[in-house]
Structure 1
């Protein structure tokens, strides 16, 4: 097959997009759902004025939050703040593990809002539920972790690090026009890396899940590296486990079979960023080789029931889950989309066998246990198909090394490889549009594409050495459909980089939210060391932008402090309050390292002292509340 140049691929994508906007193209008409085509064909004037705020400029190394004129941003919930009636944060990070179990975890990420009472659309009272993805080991203790202070590393430090992971549930209420956290609260809760959880679905009780501590393979302690999330139609929260491989190590280099070694290699296992295996043997693969198979799932949590046990839903597959985007089929079956956030990984969707009856309650969670997981194959002509990860079908057989359905799901990456899925440029968040029959997929970047023996550019990933990332749109007549159409919605970067952004430029799209008006909110994650330097200098600090999903018009709405990632966003139902998460402020970009700036346990404020700006403080991930001065709808 003749290889197309980047410009040819780009022109093909842009020509198709123009055809969609004009309602032309017989080929695309036969492939795409008519409702999506009809809506996309509307003139730009239909959504004129959708973005009503004044765009803000790029922020270079400013250690603060910036929002447009007429808006205000206030720090709302920081690492170490009590979720209910727990202890206050100590600026020297001297809080104990017991304290941390009652406080906000570190590195806020995906989050959602749950109105009170359950099933209501109340915009003044609810629960805010959020993930805590990972840790800054130079900040979590006052003298550092196993890397900086190996001699003082202890079981107590391990426990504090584990308690800083997981999920926070806080009760929030609007009182006299101002949002407040309710303390104490019967709903306030922490779920951590030590919280008991049930395992359900096809992999539950399988030989892949059983351990010495859990010979039945039905219970696991904790959830970790929770990146983004999902909100089920029945009012529960999915905490998505992403880079779980960074917690397990083969400390003794145990000899294993060639099959096991291949499976470990496919998930990049064996080297841990943490030192937990020193005091918690379940993180030592030589001592407990199956513990790692108990992570990489989605954990369902009922925020309305603080005593309920979370459940890991194995039918959704095991990989580096970014988030979970929900849609319903025409017959009310549940569809869950998720990206595997690593270079050359895949886009998945799950379709339940049974329909949801429209009522609320965690008892509907069984819908996530019985269904089919699919992986996407995107073709050069803008069509695509979903390939089922079902044992016994196609190459997923015992002859090809798959013992049963549990094996297929535990090793979903290998199953997707066998099916010929399309390797993508780091699939991140997926967001569903409330009016178009479309989901949008952010692809952050992939500088390895086209280098060495790696896969070269294709229509869905049209740039080799992809520095800036892109966003793909998938159109389906019905979420149950196994065929779909797709297009490159936006190539990130400036025009000189081949970018196709209509308005304010950005790089490395990551977090996404589509609000009820149809505005696509895009958050960026330029790697902390690359911020404000080299190829990324023009983008400044990481940012959040509003995009008209119909026209592509893009305006910069928020910029963050030094070294941070902008990630996780949710609005109150009336869209008059926006919560945004600021993760890992204080990470040191190379442009500052070149000036001799180095962070350490002894110098935690080297590059940032946000949000407290306390003379003896330290950078703290935090949730920020954004409102309009006039109390109006966000984005207008």
Structure 2
């Protein structure tokens, strides 16, 4: 039963499937659907006058000085005039001296596990000591594209067509990479054979910690303790802790597993985690790893979709799945400190009609780095967001025994709450969102931006998701209360507003909300992961079927005249998305992940690009690039 003041509702999607959730009964006033600050930009105009404005106003006032590019699909990259891009590392580049040169035809799992992985997504850069010319690069490797890795495979039947060796190579090519970088002659380069270099794969031994560790639902034949697991999967976005460790996020696992989910003992939980709406055994892993068969190990799925903490400075350390942060399709884990020193982690569940979460640690961060804070993320409270029509956000705790999270509703411990985080959030009145992806605090202002990619199954808009059939996505801005010591990210309530409604401003049916000076190249759809430069400007990577047919990297101010005025900065090679804009060198260098170049082609023979090698005998290779201004100024200025 839902909590008091809520009513039972049902959500349905385009496959005719439904699920219950608890909804507040209050109505949403129309005025709450539009951002107050965003429509009152620079001119003192009313919302009505801006909506009626037909002539774009002058673009001076945006702090972004680069000449906006035109979005185009090409085999290579497109950058603004005066900028250069350089590939730092590619899929298959050796991390160690004893690794042979990249050759997909002769790859083995052992070789792949000592090379830079495939389809890099989240990036992080951590300086090494006080030396500005050394640092550690961490990259997630989300999933394989077998049909773009080898010839002779097709997109939809690769699982059947691959050899067992190729299947094992895909398992060794995902996860994460730690690579030392050194700067020489102004350029960052990987250090082969560095003591820090490391690969994390789908078979790396890991520890399970926190309230769900040891739970019967996490116990398997291979691990009757429920505290040890092999590998991490579907690593999309992530975060960096204040003590210098990586948080890598597992964004779903249903496509990995094979077997009949409906016959599994925990079939109701599997359905709530979209095993009824996901490709089955997509890459054939059950052939070489029987633990991914639901018949063999029905509890194995519950050991994924967590946040994994990795210490990049200690290559001998064991990665840890932190169950206190909940289990769902984790898109990111951005951190910030509350005024009292506790760490706050922002977490989005990247599915239609899923939720936005926040974790607040019990204890403050201690001096002494990773060693002193090794298990800080095991104790704390996970909250879920409820967006109200009055512009207030309430954080609802997901704690066993509180409200509806009781045995009567199937929850017998905090472990139950965390293993079925979605089911718990359904009952407490959380707001179902339009695919929350990027979810990160601005390091300059302390406000928090949420990128919501899209939801074309939405029929009933609400204040935080104000468009039905939301095909284009939107951005929200959250405002924690201000204190004398900065914004309190651990507070129970925030203010919030809509920052932008994505789509083409020239198409009335899109019902967009951007700055009226947005150009025909500047608008975008499907906002995905986001980043901030050192001045607090927002950088947005898109990921979806853009009306233009291509993804890009956009930037906008969040303060002043240029608020919500996006400009297109970068277009990746055909078929690729760009990921995780990361600024280093005090903003003079932008690191960017280029994921799945050529994706969309049915086979390698049909790929529209062979970037970055442009060698007809080699496949396209996901890579990390470093972008700089030729003149040496900060990126964007």
TM-score exceeds 0.5: yes
- Structure 1 residue 582 and structure 2 residue 594: aligned? yes
Query: How far apart, in 1, do the equivalents of 2:76 and 2:210 lie?
Result: 45
1:511-532 Cα offsets, whole Å, 9 max, x none, are 1001221111111002xxx45x
Query: How far apart, in 2, do the equivalents of 1:422 and 1:250 lie?
Result: 32
- Structure 1 residue 473 and structure 2 residue 483: aligned? no
Q: Per-residue deviation at 1:146?
A: 10
2:462 to 458, 478, 498: 458
CA contact (8 A) 2:264 2:298 kept: no
Query: How far apart, in 2, do the equivalents of 1:542 and 1:82 lie?
Result: 29
Query: How far apart, in 2, do the equivalents of 1:547 and 1:94 lie?
Result: 45
Query: How far apart, in 2, do the equivalents of 1:625 and 1:327 lie?
Result: 26
CA contact (8 A) 1:123 1:572 kept: no
Query: How far apart, in 2, do the equivalents of 1:563 and 1:3 lie?
Result: 42
CA contact (8 A) 2:62 2:565 kept: no
Report the 3-state secondary structure (helix = DSSP H, G, I; strand = E; otherwise coil) of the residue aligned with 1:354.
strand
CA contact (8 A) 1:390 1:405 kept: yes
- Structure 2 residue aligned with 1:51: 64
- Structure 1 residue 278 and structure 2 residue 287: aligned? yes
1:464-507 Cα offsets, whole Å, 9 max, x none, are 11111001111111111111111010111121222222321111
Query: How far apart, in 1, do the equivalents of 2:457 and 2:62 lie?
Result: 39
- Structure 1 residue 316 and structure 2 residue 325: aligned? yes
Equivalent pairs counted in the alignment come to 582
- Structure 2 residue aligned with 1:594: none
- Structure 1 residue aligned with 2:378: 369
Q: Per-residue deviation at 1:272?
A: 2.8
Query: How far apart, in 2, do the equivalents of 1:146 and 1:473 lie?
Result: 38
- Structure 2 residue aligned with 1:36: none
- Structure 1 residue 266 and structure 2 residue 272: aligned? yes
CA contact (8 A) 1:94 1:142 kept: no
1:326 to 326, 335, 340: 335
Report the 3-state secondary structure (helix = DSSP H, G, I; strand = E; otherwise coil) of the residue aligned with 2:34.
helix
1:545–1:250: structure 2 CA closer, same or farther, 3 Å change rule? Answer: same
Q: Per-residue deviation at 1:231?
A: 0.3
Q: Per-residue deviation at 1:381?
A: 1.7
1:92–1:207: structure 2 CA closer, same or farther, 3 Å change rule? Answer: closer
Query: How far apart, in 1, do the equivalents of 2:417 and 2:101 lie?
Result: 44
- Structure 2 residue aligned with 1:632: 633
Report the 3-state secondary structure (helix = DSSP H, G, I; strand = E; otherwise coil) of the residue aligned with 1:131.
strand
Q: How does 1:74-473 map to 2 (within 5 A)?
A: 74-117=86-129, 120=130, 122-144=131-153, 148=157, 153-251=162-260, 255-257=263-265, 260-269=266-275, 271-450=280-459, 456-473=460-477
- Structure 1 residue aligned with 2:10: none
1:343–1:89: structure 2 CA closer, same or farther, 3 Å change rule? Answer: farther
317-326 vs 141-150, greater mean Cα deviation: 141-150
- Structure 1 residue 508 and structure 2 residue 526: aligned? yes
CA contact (8 A) 2:479 2:496 kept: yes
Query: How far apart, in 2, do the equivalents of 1:552 and 1:147 lie?
Result: 40
- Structure 1 residue aligned with 2:542: 524
1:519-559 Cα offsets, whole Å, 9 max, x none, are 11111002xxx45xxxx13xx42110111011222211111
1:204–1:66: structure 2 CA closer, same or farther, 3 Å change rule? Answer: same
Report the 3-state secondary structure (helix = DSSP H, G, I; strand = E; otherwise coil) of the residue aligned with 1:292.
helix
Query: How far apart, in 2, do the equivalents of 1:407 and 1:323 lie?
Result: 22
Query: How far apart, in 2, do the equivalents of 1:188 and 1:584 lie?
Result: 23
1:294–1:566: structure 2 CA closer, same or farther, 3 Å change rule? Answer: same
CA contact (8 A) 2:33 2:466 kept: no
Q: Per-residue deviation at 1:86?
A: 4.9
Q: Per-residue deviation at 1:89?
A: 4.8
CA contact (8 A) 1:86 1:99 kept: no
- Structure 1 residue 65 and structure 2 residue 65: aligned? no
Query: How far apart, in 2, do the equivalents of 1:445 and 1:149 lie?
Result: 29
Query: How far apart, in 1, do the equivalents of 2:151 and 2:299 lie?
Result: 34
- Structure 1 residue 562 and structure 2 residue 563: aligned? no
103-112 vs 498-507, greater mean Cα deviation: 498-507
316-325 vs 493-502, greater mean Cα deviation: 493-502
1:95–1:344: structure 2 CA closer, same or farther, 3 Å change rule? Answer: same
CA contact (8 A) 1:91 1:616 kept: no
Report the 3-state secondary structure (helix = DSSP H, G, I; strand = E; otherwise coil) of the residue aligned with 1:234.
coil
342-351 vs 542-551, greater mean Cα deviation: 542-551
1:69-116 Cα offsets, whole Å, 9 max, x none, are 111012221111112325345454431111101111111100100101
- Structure 1 residue 541 and structure 2 residue 553: aligned? no
- Structure 1 residue aligned with 2:54: none
Q: Per-residue deviation at 1:169?
A: 0.7
- Give the aligned CA root-mean-square deviation in angstroms: 2.5
CA contact (8 A) 2:219 2:225 kept: yes
Q: Mark the runs of 5 or more structure 1 residues left unpaired by the alignment.
A: 26-44, 451-455, 589-597
Q: Per-residue deviation at 1:149?
A: 5.9
Q: Mark the runs of 5 or more structure 2 residues left unpaired by the alignment.
A: 1-24, 47-57, 482-487
CA contact (8 A) 1:93 1:140 kept: no
1:24–1:329: structure 2 CA closer, same or farther, 3 Å change rule? Answer: farther
Q: Per-residue deviation at 1:153?
A: 4.1
CA contact (8 A) 1:523 1:567 kept: yes
TM-score (norm 1): 0.87
CA contact (8 A) 1:89 1:95 kept: no
